[in-house]
Structure 1
């Protein structure tokens, strides 16, 4: 009874912290502490029991089949920042990681010199850095039962566009990929629904879009797309874990598909909810062109209950 009360109290405290975050005022910069607290989101966590795992357990007295619960939940693997001015990552504590260098300087938007500016070319840098929540998030997820491990390491840089100059600023070689040349391939949103935010390819920093928020979101999606795949022609480190018995890690991120990952806005406003792009939420334009989201990805696991994994059954 005491343990149950302690768990309930912990959840209430965590929920209160999330509510305070959701109601906080918008800010142009983020701190590590703010990002850490934003990870305490039951909505983004989406903790579920999805099946049963079977294990063969053997001892001196013989062998038996044991079972364990199979769970699935999301983990904030990384913070993805998308910002106009080089060196001005909105996550202020990690700015020294992506300062201007001889091959990546300045930033900002292009212009057509026309009054309507419908063909404006916007540019965003992008950084993908391991979410700092770490042990605090593990403790939070553990209050629901037990927790899976994610692929991200706190404060680890997985992609810094200032070091990916050829691909990020010149779209080489992705500007000639079929996904970049053929309309309808790898797009965020729908042309038919008149809600097209932009194209995933070429996965660089430029986008022709009048809405700055949508530009930031598309560039963040591009960065997430790169780091969740191996063998891409970019300067980056894959944000992937290796599957093993009783552990099924997240795979490649796919636009519009929440089963591969979803986004929690961190700035210019902090949200306690997660969604995919495009979404119908009210979008606040950042005055400095800087945005950041936590990338939450789904992991499935079960506790090891024996020496040999026999398989699992999923609930419908």
Structure 2
């Protein structure tokens, strides 16, 4: 109930905002348009099997069937940016930016040695001997504008409802400042200490960096890759429960349908989720991070650098579902594996 009321407030506020457009900004209509343009390549809808239901009435019981489908949903919009409260998603920045900054500058600001309101993309230390590739970025994970719509359309039985709620903030790094900035307790995880574990790319020859520690600090000379690492880390957090961060895990009920939701996001594994860049370079295809670009003259980041340091992606995740045709679900059969 609280989530629904929050989303209603966000929707009303979004509709009441004036149009905003400048470098480093993306709006809700633009996100919807870019998502729609990528639907054919990213959604990957296909019938994959059948479900069997037991339907009982006063006249007796019978077994009914429904088609089982699989497809990807645009669950989340993940944004990485420099300034606290400066989410490039214009409507989210206008509504949640000030609240995030105020909360982070309160108790958390008094506890942290690094100024909360200092600019992102900072290097480590101040002397010439410090590592200039170690930079910090804020990251937000917000429910996609179309995710709730998928639940409404799912009633026809050909689309699966998303686990996410539109415009709902699942993760805001400003509210998770102790872990996202100070790396506690992430720095003590084995994957943070042992090179080669949970790498985005192929270690040691070609790697963008490690998923752990899941913080805002990255050691990556190419800014788009550093931003992608932040997005992967935030997606890793919200698709799991019980993580040592301030966040809301992505969970949800299937409503009237039988749904097999996606599992936790894993790097380089498109069967757990794929990314579609929204900003600064709108793309109509989806892929995973970690592309081997050693043979490329410009690298993966070529043409993807934003002068404002703002980046945004759609996270598409795979679902399987079938329409309810009886009171009790019996079993399902798959004539092909999904995701393919």
Instruction: Please confirm whether the aligned pair reaches a TM-score higher than 0.5, indicating the same fold.
Output: yes
**Contact 1:48–1:71, Cα closer than 8 Å, also in 2:** yes
Q: Which residue of 2 aligns with 1:93?
A: 91
The match for 1:123 among 120, 136, 151 is 136
CA distance in 2 between partners of 1:119 and 1:108 (Å) = 10
Once the two structures are superposed, what CA deviation does each residue of 1:160-198 show, in whole Å capped at 9, x if it has no partner? 100001100000011111110011111111025x32011
Once the two structures are superposed, what CA deviation does each residue of 1:215-255 show, in whole Å capped at 9, x if it has no partner? 00000000000000001110000112246872111221111
Cα separation, partners in 2 of 1:66 and 1:137, compared to 1, 3 Å: closer
Cα separation, partners in 2 of 1:84 and 1:214, compared to 1, 3 Å: same
Is 1:159 the equivalent of 2:158?
no
1:109 deviation in Å? 2.2
TM-score by length of 1: 0.84
Cα separation, partners in 2 of 1:138 and 1:105, compared to 1, 3 Å: same
Q: Which residue of 2 aligns with 1:65?
A: 63
Q: Which residue of 1 aligns with 2:320?
A: 300
Is 1:288 the equivalent of 2:314?
no
Extract unaligned runs of 5+ from structure 1. 1-25
1:62 deviation in Å? 2.1
Q: Which residue of 2 aligns with 1:14?
A: none
Is 1:80 the equivalent of 2:78?
yes
Secondary structure of 2:233's aligned partner: helix
CA distance in 2 between partners of 1:138 and 1:174 (Å) = 35
Once the two structures are superposed, what CA deviation does each residue of 1:242-299 show, in whole Å capped at 9, x if it has no partner? 4687211122111111111111100001111111112365551111111000111111
Secondary structure of 2:180's aligned partner: helix
Once the two structures are superposed, what CA deviation does each residue of 1:141-163 show, in whole Å capped at 9, x if it has no partner? 899x7211011111100001000
Is 1:210 the equivalent of 2:221?
yes
Cα separation, partners in 2 of 1:306 and 1:43, compared to 1, 3 Å: same
CA distance in 2 between partners of 1:132 and 1:150 (Å) = 11
CA distance in 1 between partners of 2:155 and 2:228 (Å) = 31
CA distance in 2 between partners of 1:118 and 1:125 (Å) = 19
**Contact 2:24–2:309, Cα closer than 8 Å, also in 1:** no
Cα separation, partners in 2 of 1:181 and 1:243, compared to 1, 3 Å: farther
CA distance in 1 between partners of 2:154 and 2:258 (Å) = 18
1:86 deviation in Å? 1.8
**Contact 1:264–1:271, Cα closer than 8 Å, also in 2:** yes
RMSD, matched Cα: 2.5
Cα separation, partners in 2 of 1:27 and 1:259, compared to 1, 3 Å: farther
